[in-house]
Amino acid sequence: MKSRSAIKTDLFADEHHRKKIDALGDPLADIESHIDFASLAAEVDEVAPRPVSAQGGRPPYPTETMVRILVLKRLYNLSDEQMEYQLLDRMSYKRFCGLANATHVPDRTTVWTFENRIGEAGAKALFDGVSEQLLRKGFIARGGQIIDATLVPAPKQHNSRGEKALIEHGAMPADWKPAKRRQKDLDATWTKKHGTSHFGYKLSINVDKKYKIIRRIETDTASTHDSQHFDDVFDAGNTSRDVYADRGYPSEAREAWLKENGFRNQIQRKGKRNKPLTECQQRRNQRIAKTRARVEHVFAAIEQMGGKLLRTIGQARANFAMTMMAACYNLKRLVYFRKAGIEAF
């Protein structure tokens, strides 16, 4: 007697699977319905126009398709190789990128070339484009601003003391072959935090208290002190005059500037040697910490997008990746607001 099986074959199985995915809830479909990718593609084309070959040949993939691929790559922290594989393997990815019926999909080299062509300017255009869509929906900066920074790790470099000395002086060991040089990140730096050494870069952000949207960003190497980015990410457009930051940011000059310009100083105090904080100052720090902690939710959300570890070499590409982190976080935030029916006020 022939054994029975639950496996049934059907020429239209793919269509059944698509309907099942829609019924279960495809998160990419939510992004598709709430984000204007055509507008984002136009922003990228403005700062990095598509190349036109006078000799003909295969035309490039549409910018909108490539922008969608970059968003997927950042949301799930995929390498170029994995991005190519997932585009071939995943039905939802192909549908999201408009490649469901395409004979060919962008390969790893195409993704890498597009990233390098648009560069930091293209990533900033995407960040600004998402910010503009948030503003059009009424999600302006409200409730005060929170400034903080996070370390973004890069692959650790194992160099000898002699090699480190040469690198610090802007030189490069003569015995390094070209292939090895391309794999050495000479821009990332070391720093210590809570007694632990970290190697990589730093992302400073300004988040508004009301919506936890990243309003401004600044990128740098890990050894740069957090406070040096305060002025670069300060947002004078927030509807509230409250400015929140942790104990790494206070200074007499900064406090005087905030007071002179009508801002309320909500920066935590820091004790000094032989001059600990008073009980009143400690209570003030605790009160501020309850609000300032909202920025940690942002960093945690970025961490959940496959982690913050960079897969790139050099500061230019690191800046691109960190800007994309911020852009994709804001994109997810906008989708959440629209899906949950949250209206700006």
DSSP one-letter string for 3-44: PP-S----TTHHHHHHHHHHHH--HHHHHHHH--HHHHHHHH
CA–CA separation, 335 vs 253, rounded Å?
40
* Range name among 68-82, 164-178, 207-221 with the lowest pLDDT average: 164-178
The per-residue pLDDT for range 85-98, each reduced to its tens digit, is 999 999 899 999 99
Mode of pairing for the β-strands spanning 189-193 and 264-267: unpaired
State residue 273's pLDDT score.
82
- What's the chain's average pLDDT? 90
162/68: higher pLDDT: 68
pTM of the shown model: 0.90
Place of tokens 């632990």: 196
CA–CA separation, 120 vs 200, rounded Å?
18
Cβ neighbors of 325 (< 8 A, separation 6 or more) are 74, 152, 203, 302, 305, 308
Place of tokens 């501020």: 288
The per-residue pLDDT for range 182-207, each reduced to its tens digit, is 788 888 889 998 889 999 999 999 99
State residue 1's pLDDT score.
64
The per-residue pLDDT for range 288-315, each reduced to its tens digit, is 999 999 999 999 999 999 888 888 889 9
Radius of gyration, alpha carbons of the chain: 24
